[in-house]
Amino acid sequence: MLAAVGFNPRCCFFLFLFFKFKLFTMDFGLVTICPNVKPFFLCRSFSAFLLFILAGVSCNSVGKKIYVDLNNTVPCVRLLNATHQIGCQSSLSGNVGVLHVLESEENLDWVLDSGPNPPYMVILETPLFTRSIMMKLKNGSSRVAGVAFVVPNSNPAGGFSPHTSCPNENSGVYTEGYDPTLANCKNTVWNPLGSGLSYEDFDFPIFSLKDDNDTEVIRQCYIVHNRPVNGSTPRYPLCAMQLFSHMSAVTNTPTCMRRNDINFSISPEYVCDPLGDSNVWGSSRPLNNTAKGHKMWESVVIAAARLDSRSFFSNVAPGTESAVSGFVTLLAAAHALRNATQEAQPNRTILYAFFQGEAFDYIGSSRMVYDMEKNQFPLDMDNIHSVLEIGQVGLRSDSKLWLHTDPVSRRNATVNKELIENLQLVARELNISGEEPNLSQPLPPSSFQRFLLNRPIPGVVLEDHRSEFYESMFDNREYLNITYPPELTPEEQLEYVTDTAKALTEVATMVGRALYKQAGGEDSQLKNINADSQIVTQMLYSFLVQSNNSWLQQIISPDSIGHLNDRPLNLYVGVYQQASEPTALVHHLLANLTGSVLNITQENCNNQREDEEDKESKHMYYYIWSQGAAPPNSTERRGFCVRSTSRVFRALSPAFEEHNYTNKAYSTWTESRWKSIRGRIFLVASHELEMLTLGVGIGVLLTSLLLTYFISSKADILFSSAREPTNATY
Amino acid sequence: MTASVFFGCTFIAFGPAISLFLFTIAREPLRVIFLIAGAFFWLVSLLLASLVWFISVRISNMDNEAQQKGLLIFGVVLSVLLQEVFRFAYYKLLKKANEGLLALSQEETMPISIRQLAYVSGLGFGFMSGAFSVVNILADSVGPGTVGIHGDSQHYFLSSAFMTMAIILLHMFWGVVFFDACEKQCWWAVAAVVISHLTVSCLTFQNPEYVASLVPTYVILFLMGIWAFYSAGGSLRTLKLCLTCKDKDFLLANHRPR
């Protein structure tokens, strides 16, 4: 995610030349030999020259005639943990290979063995992006320059998950020490389709390409130049591709963090950054945020969801089912609970927690537990009454929802009884069947495991048991069956309540009521707790279609406007130094859905106070200035101040706090830095033609050396008739 | 393509120029100075041409292709004329400088003849114009790709290099003929130089039909070469004398004091 500007040292000399003669880089005496006769090109070439003069950069028409730069490329980048590196990388100057579009698995033989022009750049389509093919390519990597994966426009049938089959297996609660029979997914394999590709280390670059004009150019180029016809070998020039994704970090996190600390130059050169971001939390009753540590007489029910997801490729992590379904449900439940908790305050406080970086060994939840232990959070572990975690709940078959509990703590039978009973009671009212899995089944991968690691707390994890596209780029809205009638405008789509939204609303209502009951609220209030399907569908639209819509524009604060995008949200947690998109949006949404609007000025709002003398409110509340909507006859938005308990706190793994990168207890994931990530296609000439050019060049040089020596040695004779008269002139 | 193509093209484009420089110019500091000065004069002409071009493109309609094409032809013609004007200006300057040198010189004769000056300044023009027409192409030839993804000929680098070689040599010949013509005040020869320069520049409009531009250019190069040979004082007789090695001075040629 952190990428510096690309720099090619080889061009330096020429750039120097160009900069030096910036203004003169045109030769009119000799029109640059344009390899295209069409007059429009001449003009384009010259406008390119003009740009060249203006900008003084080495972008010129010759380069355009050679290279086609690929847009919409997404690389796989290198990540590191305490012991390993995973992901992909190219050499410093990019990997070049002759294009080969893989048509079937048998076709691999051409790449790995029989093809005459290695190395090859393999173009893959969805059904061939499997573990077996990728591992064969990995093992034959001297003949493989890289892989480009063409993303299909619809999800593959039968599922695809590049994640491991037992996600986060070493950082959850189920270790050999906790219960040997449950460790390492011995009992239940949570992600049976998981191929583990995301956790392999490839020494060639792997890019994904959107199926559009670029891929069409690539296919055409392949068909015209590279496809072997009737078994004959293709003739030069061949179509080739170059992929740049050189990664600065190697080996593992301890190594790269040590190298971060070595500074030879004035400007420090970092090689990797820890993964992380911010967790979001809010509570049904304001808690003093300044006083850390244990709160007397306080008992909280934590309602948790995860905020992040990942996929094989960096920055394409829609995480629709694995994350969005869960946190949208929790947001809707929090919204449903706003009035009830204000009118009839239950005995216990409900704490909404949204954890970041859970895909990478539970960064967010482990940080919360760590902060509670170190008295850096307004509460500590003793304040926790119970935990209700909303996992993936978007795809219930037969309205069935699984209520997972921990079999080890269940041995003490009463631990989870209350929560399960509450959940089943409200579920029955809503015609949702909340079923308990069999007693030996462990918890699925969930943030709650990190709390259990600390102490046995009652807790339930809601799941729907679906993992076709777990942690893959296909975990998108198509998977969740969110489709809009084609004739709708974006504004109408935002308001259109899909079936998935209705289903999630039901779950949200159930979660809201269960939380209220769990917090000790009165049964009479339960009927008033109903999630709003309109809000749910708006949230789904914002996270899965585009966050840059009229609804979020009203909610967001003016300085967070940059987080709104016209594409589906990317839920990859990213490096700690860079704010990831979902955190800010969820923070604002939670504030608006649970907070109240105050009539105070923008200045006071931004300074966290209700009036000029107010110094106390900031400990209890957080104030956000929302942009608001523009009145019908005006273009200027009328903002408002929202007071809520919605706050963010660090989601950086404790390992980086303690500078202990070999400790297995905490996440140690880091992301390598890189300089440039790009791809381009072009033709390569045969070795013979290159050698011919060199040979002709040397021939010309030697001939002219000889000839000049000969002529200059005989110049007196050769030009003798003129010598005397010339001298005589002067 | 690769480094081999880069070096191949560099040798083709600049091989003759480099060898001429090594054997005839590098040994004498005065010639080096005049070469650099010639290159500078060419640069100044390009600066003026590009200023005019810059302004005219700014005020023209960028979307009108016919107009842009016309502007391109205008730019080429203007640039060629400017180059020739600067060649004349350089000739005038050298004449003045020569008088000054003669005054300073302790010997009776000039340290450098006007004919040698013609050759040296022509080569200076050639060096600079060659550099400017091929350097950006050479920069791209180092990369892994070759021209042709849009269906263009892959002999682009090779033909550009040969074109540059021709341009450098032509500038040298033009210099010799031009100075000689000025010396003899034979203005039709000056006009012939300007017209052939215009012709060669406009021939490059033929690209990418490389044969159509390279063959006529080399024909002109050959003719110009012969003309320059004669105006530099060569003749068929001296050539024959030279080739048959009948001249008894041949072995002593290098040892003779100049």
pLDDT digits (tens, 9 = 90+) for A453-486: 988 888 999 998 788 899 999 999 899 889 999 9
**A574 within a domain of the structure (yes/no):** yes
pLDDT at A729: 36
A68 CB near a chain B CB, below 8 Å?
yes
Question: In this structure, are A368 and A467 located in the same domain?
Answer: yes
A158-201 pLDDT, tens per residue? 889 999 999 998 888 998 888 888 888 888 889 999 999 999 99
- Same domain for A207 and A148: yes
Q: Categorize the per-residue pLDDT at A450 as very low, low, confident or very high, splitting at 50, 70 and 90.
A: very high
Closest Cβ opposite residue A726 in set B113, B147, B239: B113
Q: What are phi and psi of A596, to 5 degrees?
A: -130, 150
ipTM of predicted assembly, 2 dp: 0.91
Residue A125 structure tokens: 């389509």
CB contact residues (below 8 A), chain A span 41-60, against chain B: 42-43, 46-47, 50, 53, 58, 60
Q: How far apart are CA B130 and CA A354, in angstroms?
A: 65
Does B198 lie at the interface with A, CB-CB under 8 angstroms?
Answer: no
Reply yes or no on whether the pLDDT at B91 is more than 80. yes
Strand order in the sheet with A79-80: A85-86, A79-80, A670-672, A272-274
Q: Which residue has the tokens 């020739």?
A: B84
Burial category of A425 from C-beta neighbours within 10 Å (exposed 0-12, middle 13-18, buried 19 and up)? middle
Q: Please check whether residues A229 and A359 belong to one and the same domain.
A: no
Selection from A299, A348, A353 nearest residue A331 by Cα: A353
Interface of A with B in 166-205 (CB under 8 A): none
Which residue, among B2, B19, B58, B162, would best test binding to A if mutated, counting the most A CBs under 10 Å from its CB?
A: B19
What is the token pair recorded at A142? 């001297």
Structural domain count of chain A: 5
Question: Using CA of residue A459, residue A462, residue A468, residue A473, what is the dihedral sign?
Answer: negative
Residue B29 domain-assigned (yes or no): yes
CB B113 within 8 A of CB A727: yes
- Whether the pLDDT of residue A6 is over 80: the answer is no
Give the domain range for residue A623.
596-642
A698 to chain B, any CB pair closer than 8 A? The answer is: yes
Residues A600 and A587 in one domain: no
H-type helices in A263-406, by residue range? 325-343, 363-373
Tell me A723's DSSP state.
H
Q: Is residue A187 assigned to a domain?
A: no
Residue A668 lies in a domain: no
Question: CATH no. for residue A492?
Answer: 3.40.630.10
State whether A602 and A514 are in the same domain: no
Residues A541 and A615 in one domain: no
| B257 belongs to a structural domain | no
Range of the domain at B43: 3-252
A77 and A197 in a single domain? The answer is yes
Residue A713 shares a structural domain with residue A604: no
Write down the pLDDT at residue B245. 66
User: Are A694 and B8 inside 8 Å of each other by CB?
Assistant: yes
Helices (H), chain B: 3-20, 29-59, 65-104, 114-141, 156-184, 187-203, 210-231, 236-243
CB atoms within 10 A of CB A107: 15
Number of H helices, E strands in chain A: 23, 23
| Residue A601 and residue A463 share a domain | no
A526 located within any domain: yes
Which residues of B are less than 8 Å from A12 in CB distance? Answer: none
Q: Does the residue A142 lie in any domain? A: yes
pLDDT at A596: 92
Do residues A646 and A594 touch, judged by C-beta distance below 8 A?
yes
Which pLDDT band holds residue A5 (cuts at 50, 70, 90)?
very low
Cis bond upstream, residue A116 (ω within 30) = no
Are both A299 and A222 inside the same structural domain? no
Are A500 and A480 spatial neighbours (Cβ–Cβ below 8 Å)?
yes
Q: Residue type at A689?
A: L
Q: Which of A188-197, A310-319, B23-32, B247-256 has the lowest mean pLDDT?
A: B247-256
- Number of domains chain B is built from: 1
Say if residue A491 is in the same domain as residue A471.
yes
The 10 Å CB-count burial string (b at 16+, else e) for A261-270 is eeeeeeeeeb
Contacts of A730 in chain B (CB under 8 A): 98, 102, 109-110, 113
Query: Tell me, what's the pLDDT at A414?
Result: 65
Instruction: Please check whether residues A144 and A214 belong to one and the same domain.
Output: yes
Question: How close is the nearest chain A Cα to the Cα of B37, in Å?
Answer: 17
Q: Which residue has the tokens 């490096």?
A: A575
Q: In this predicted model, what pLDDT tens digit does every residue of A547-599 receive, in sequence order?
A: 999 999 999 999 888 889 898 999 999 899 888 889 999 999 999 999 999 99
Q: Quickly list H helices, A497-594.
A: 499-518, 533-544, 550-555, 581-594
Residue A3 lies in a domain: no
* B54 reaches A (C-beta below 8 A): yes
Residue B258 in domain: no
